[in-house]
A and B are shown apart, each in its own frame.
Chain A
Amino acid sequence: MIKRSTYFITAFVSLIALAGFQITLLKKTHADHAPIKRAFVAFSSLPDLAIANEALFVRFRSYADTFSLFSNGPELLEFAPSTFTYHHGHTHNPSRIERAR
């Protein structure tokens, strides 16, 4: 019983030590690139990260306004309200555009 407890405590302490080692290693390997990133943004003067760039209002979200989606196509507004998700057929649950016709 005591032997099992010793093993268990050793394993738990090893886990904590591993976590500490991993954090130290990540801090050393992930050097701080803040100065060069700031220099780039100061030069480009454009906000937002280039993580997703499928559309202008996604890439430069900070510059997007309420009409950004609309200018690409009014039918795209169906992505926002839930009528698109619950649309079973045009007789049961018509979209706003169909209702407006």
Chain B
Amino acid sequence: MLCFITFLIASVLFIAHSIKYELSLTIDALPELTLQNLQAGRHQNISLEHLDALLDIHGVSKVIPRVWGFYYFDNAGVNFSVMGIDAFDHQSKEHLEKLVAQFDFERFVSTPSMVVGEGVLRVLKENYYKDYFNFITHEGRFEKVSLAGVFDAKTSLESNDMIFMPQKNVRTILGMRDDEATDILLRVANKDEIPTILGKIKALYPSSRIITKEAMRVSYQSLFDYKSGVFLALFLASLVTFLLIVFDRASGLSSEEKREVGILKAVGWQTNDILREKFYEAGIISLGAFVCAIILALFFVYTLQAPLLRDIFTGYSILKPTFALPFVLDTQTLCVIFFLSVPIYIAAILVPSWKIATLDADEVMR
């Protein structure tokens, strides 16, 4: 039982730590500032007229309007994240050639084409779309888009539900005008200037919402911190179960264990000897359970991809990525699991044993 509870706590903590590691890996690649337009408390498209004013702000090195959104595929009941890119931009071409196996650039620029994630490809194939897909545009017309490539499987956790296509196709599908964008990215050369630039943008556009990279880092931290989220619920449930077992052990020894202590006292064992024996016994059991639990948790999470637990993290979404989490052995997590299981269990065995060991042998055996 101790091994099972420790295995559960370890599995949850390993998954949380791996996801946190995955997010922290990529956060530095995100833009410093993201500007969104809010109207009546809801996110609206932003006008491209803002670009000149934003570029005039001292410290802003680059302003990139972004066209992206969600496309709901009714047949499969899934949401695709559709992103528009500048197909003729040299950097975009370089990125796509690095990220996409067998990328057909000529096809990508000559005909309406898209690059998709593995999950999108799987859904398209399940719905009998082999190398193209018919999007239903905002106006209700069909927009046929060919498949130009699939993102590398190594980026599955990031790209699983994504579709990249030229901006004009995205505007047609999502019904966006040429003079608007979903949001605007701002690159800032000097990170120390971000608060000042933030204040200037807020003064220019009071209804806007500006998200900084630091705010995203904090939101990631709070999501996976012990104080919040589903991780806390799982962790608390496992911890409470473990503490119930420990409490049961600490509330007293069974009659057989009392008799054992009595017999040891009768044959001449001292209290110190009994406690030493109980310490070794509890230590071996708890250490053995700890090591077994860690071995099982590592196998369960990183080899089997956490078959039951992963559904808690993926929710009810149909487009689930392969849960191939990066292997990260965090000594802090191991220490937390160790100190939550081993010393507490040893204490739960020693305390009642000491209470019994201090009594006379005949009193114990009665």
Contact = CB atoms under 8 A, between A and B. Distances in A.
B292 interface: yes
A61 B41 CA distance: 17
Interface in B274-327: 284, 287-288, 291-292, 294-295, 298-299, 302-303, 313-317, 319-321, 326-327
B302 A51 contact: no
Given A36-B98, A37-B25, A43-B95, A50 B216 contact: no
Closest 10 CB pairs of A and B: A30-B327, A41-B26, A42-B29, A52-B315, A50-B160, A43-B95, A33-B154, A67-B41, A41-B29, A54-B317
A6 interface: no
Interface stretch (A21-29, A75-83, A87-95): A21-29
B92 interface: yes
Interface residues of A, number: 47
B353 interface: no
Interface in A52-66: 52-56, 58-63, 65
Nearest to B313: A51
A41 B154 contact: no
Interface string B1-38: 00000000000000000010011011111110010101
Contacts of A43: 92, 95-96, 99
Given A23-B298, A43-B92, A49-B19, A58 B159 contact: no
15 contacts: A12-B291, A19-B291, A22-B298, A26-B298, A26-B302, A27-B329, A30-B327, A39-B29, A41-B26, A45-B30, A50-B157, A51-B314, A51-B321, A52-B317, A63-B211
B327 A34 contact: no
B42 interface: yes
B102 interface: no
B178 interface: no
B69 to A, nearest CB: 9
Contact of A37 (B158, B216, B291): B158
Contacts of B92: 43
Interface string B158-174: 11111010000000000
A51 B161 CA distance: 9
B198 interface: no
Contacts of B220: 62
B117 A50 contact: yes
A47 B41 contact: no
Contacts of B28: 38
B48 interface: no
B185 interface: yes
A39 B292 contact: no
Interface in B109-163: 117, 119, 151-152, 154-162
Interface stretch (B76-84, B264-272, B356-364): B76-84
B292 A15 contact: yes
A85 interface: no
Given A15-B288, A45-B30, A65-B43, A53 B329 contact: no
A71 B320 CA distance: 25
Contacts of B31: 45
Contacts of B160: 50
